[in-house]
Structure 1
Amino acid sequence: MATLHIGNVKTEEMSGDPGLLTRDQLVLAGCAAERALWFARDGDVVVLPAAPGEAFVEHVTRTTGVRAASLRIVVPPAGRAGAPVLTADRLADERLHAELRAALDGRAPDRVQAYYPDAAVVALAGALGAAHAVPGHAFLAQGGAAAANSKALFRAVAAGIGIPVAPGETAAGPAAAAAAVARHFAAGHPVILKRELQSAGEGNEIVSPHAGVAPLGAERVTVLDAAAVRAHLEERWPWLTDGGRGRLVVERYLPGVRPVYAEYLVTGAGVEHTGEGELLMAPVLDGVVVPVPDLAPDARAELLRLTRRLCEAYRAIGYRGTMSVDGLVTPGGDVLLNETNSRLSGATHLHDVIARAAGPGRTLLDRGGWAVPSFAAAARRLAATGRAFDPSTRTGTLLTCDFTRLDGTVGYCVVAAGIDAVRHEEAEVRGLFAPAARS
């Protein structure tokens, strides 16, 4: 029973032309793709854009109890965007297919799990005689991944089944978008503009008729008077719509809300809740806390009720796989839903692997940006100081992602009994290396 894991972060469909991304964005995506190793079990095959570091593989497999030697890690020839990400042409390469057949000993995989399960993934599985091993393959082969991840379709589905969302609409052109923004500006409200397909706030922009708006979910706020809105949108339209391929979501920006999410596994048998958490924004995604700390029971119940109902709607049209639904909790305690992420999320490994190891009564805080001399040095320092995750106490810190080739940092997950203990331990871990220790 072998699973084929595909770390295709930043696909063309999800993030647009990779040629328009910066080198750092591409390398970051390649590092994030290595999270696929958290899901691997003995005998599995993992397709990654580049070979992961030995220290990272050893750390992950020691945590999961997988025999590292049993894993087959396959890296396809570089594609049109080079080596950092798995573009569709790399998945279609016959040399990759041949190497996968060899790694699988000529057998078809029993299951295919991709970060972003699109038509290119279904085609690769089909070349291995295993299209059926991709959950929801018939839906995905017809472009279903783009539909299931579309912020525009989300608003339509949510409105159709009575799910509360932020006031707004979807615009197909600059004129319609400008009219929508003008209506919000006339009432004194700032607006968040959202690309149809993107993630982690990277495709969002906030515009406001007045200063003093703190950004949350977008890098910056642009202050515009009513007369400048149309010109601004026409200038930004190619970026906001991925060169005109997508639609633009125009929503009232709601200051003071808490970004949260709930995650599910959608199968033919039903919808299974796998976890929920809070999205930390500074001003775009800066970490995840699992579960949401200090969330009122009524708000949590409403978050789970609404997100499950939305997942059932997507299940009815054929989507299968992991589905993470983002929401907002207002200062008054109301819950609004925000978007769907019908793919593996940046928190799926937390729910499916780490939270299970941690068990009940534990809080997880996952972040990036810890500057270290090397991944191996960070792992050694955690162990030497007694701060590495200990299964017997179900507390400590795990290294969840290796970003050292990008900027000399690692991703980490602190596990402790409650949010206060987690934040205290995070401060201790971040102080383990003085700035002078970096090389």
Structure 2
Amino acid sequence: MKRLLPRTGSVIMKRDRAVGGHGNLVITTNEDVHAVGAMETLHVTDTCDLTELVTAAGLAETFAPMGEVVVEEFLPDCRSVYAEVRCPLPPEEPQILNTGSLRTGEDPPVLAGLELPLADVSDDVGKIFTDGALRLARLMQTLGYQGLASIDAVISPDGTVRFNEVNARLGGSTHLDVIATVLLGKNWADGHVLLSRFSVPSPPFTTLVDGLARNGLAWDRAAREGVVIASDDTEASGTVEYVVLAPTWSRCRALEAELHAYLAESVQPAEH
């Protein structure tokens, strides 16, 4: 923390085995920083007393019971992006399967879904990102890795790409890409876009499916757009993960807004 904090005024502390921002904590000397990607932001004025800082950060067995804490430089106002790659056996070259951006919730501002494919970046920045992801994938090949991997980066407002994480496993976009491929074909991202969100409060599954059809939101094979339920957890937590597919971002966001309006009317407030 002492080494990294002076560089940008902020560091992020991550539980090594947490996911999606849960357990993350940002420590900053900048009062204006309200971090995205962390459960909490801790504003400090004096970093000389490391013991006091560690105590304030809650670094105890209850904070990281399953593994080490990773401390990273935190860059505010960056965009979190990813590329899912397939690492085959050499000499076959790695292949990018899909790309996208991470979506965050409001409270807490942690991972809440994805949008595919990667959009709103210049061609030059996009090429730097995809070329870098493939270079990392080739490195993984030399280490003997074979399979899928999700390679993460952050893009700063000036277009600088910084790679910060590699997940050598199925990623959060794997099933989304499969759903879109089944419905639209292998090169679905050439003509469609996708929005997803998980842990969304929902009525019971059968009620939800009927409501989507009744409101014209369900997947329409002829129109090649609509809502698909990617996972159903209504019995355990009263939530679902949804996917919205449409030919354009504006149409996709309009369908998502209609879906949220329907859900707001359909979900009963929790009793206390």
Q: TM-score, normalised by structure 1?
A: 0.55
Equivalent residues in 2 for 1:206-225 (5 A)?
Answer: 206-224=26-44, 225=46
C-alpha contact (below 8 Å) 2:47/2:53 kept by paired residues: no
Deviation at residue 233 of structure 1 after TM alignment: 2.5
**Structure 1 Cα separation of the partners of residues 80 and 224 of structure 2:** 27
Is 1:252 matched up with 2:73? yes
**Structure 1 Cα separation of the partners of residues 132 and 142 of structure 2:** 16
1:393 aligns with 223
Aligned partner (choices 86, 92, 101) of residue 265 of structure 1:
86
- The structure with the largest strand share of the pair is 2
Larger Rg: 1
SS in 2 for 1:221: strand
Is 1:382 matched up with 2:190? no
Code of the aligned partner of 2:119:
P
RMSD: 2.2
**Structure 2 Cα separation of the partners of residues 433 and 185 of structure 1:** 43
Code of the aligned partner of 2:137:
C
Is 1:198 matched up with 2:18? yes
C-alpha contact (below 8 Å) 1:261/1:277 kept by paired residues: yes
C-alpha contact (below 8 Å) 1:293/1:419 kept by paired residues: no
Code of the aligned partner of 1:271:
P
C-alpha contact (below 8 Å) 1:414/1:426 kept by paired residues: yes
Deviation at residue 293 of structure 1 after TM alignment: 2.4
SS in 2 for 1:275: strand
**Structure 2 Cα separation of the partners of residues 329 and 343 of structure 1:** 23
- The structure with the largest helix share of the pair is 1
C-alpha contact (below 8 Å) 2:8/2:73 kept by paired residues: no
Is 1:338 matched up with 2:164? yes
Deviation track 1:342-372 (CA, whole Å, cap 9, x = no partner) reads 1111210111332452323111000024433
The verdict on how the C-alpha distance between 1:191 and 1:390 changes in structure 2, with shifts beyond 3 A counting, is same
**Structure 2 Cα separation of the partners of residues 195 and 422 of structure 1:** 34
Which ranges in structure 1 are unaligned for 5 or more consecutive residues?
1-180
Deviation at residue 227 of structure 1 after TM alignment: 3.4
Following TM superposition, the consecutive aligned residue runs of length 4 or more in structure 1 with deviations greater than 6 angstroms are: none
1:233 aligns with 54
Q: TM-score, normalised by structure 2?
A: 0.86
2:115 aligns with 289
Deviation at residue 418 of structure 1 after TM alignment: 1.9
Which ranges in structure 2 are unaligned for 5 or more consecutive residues?
none
SS in 2 for 1:405: coil
Equivalent residues in 2 for 1:69-84 (5 A)?
Answer: none
C-alpha contact (below 8 Å) 1:182/1:226 kept by paired residues: yes
Deviation track 1:62-83 (CA, whole Å, cap 9, x = no partner) reads xxxxxxxxxxxxxxxxxxxxxx
Deviation at residue 188 of structure 1 after TM alignment: 5.5
Code of the aligned partner of 1:207:
I
Deviation track 1:390-426 (CA, whole Å, cap 9, x = no partner) reads 2222211100111212332211111112222111110
1:323 aligns with 149
Aligned partner (choices 192, 201, 215) of residue 371 of structure 1:
201
Q: How many residues align?
A: 257
Deviation at residue 240 of structure 1 after TM alignment: 5.7
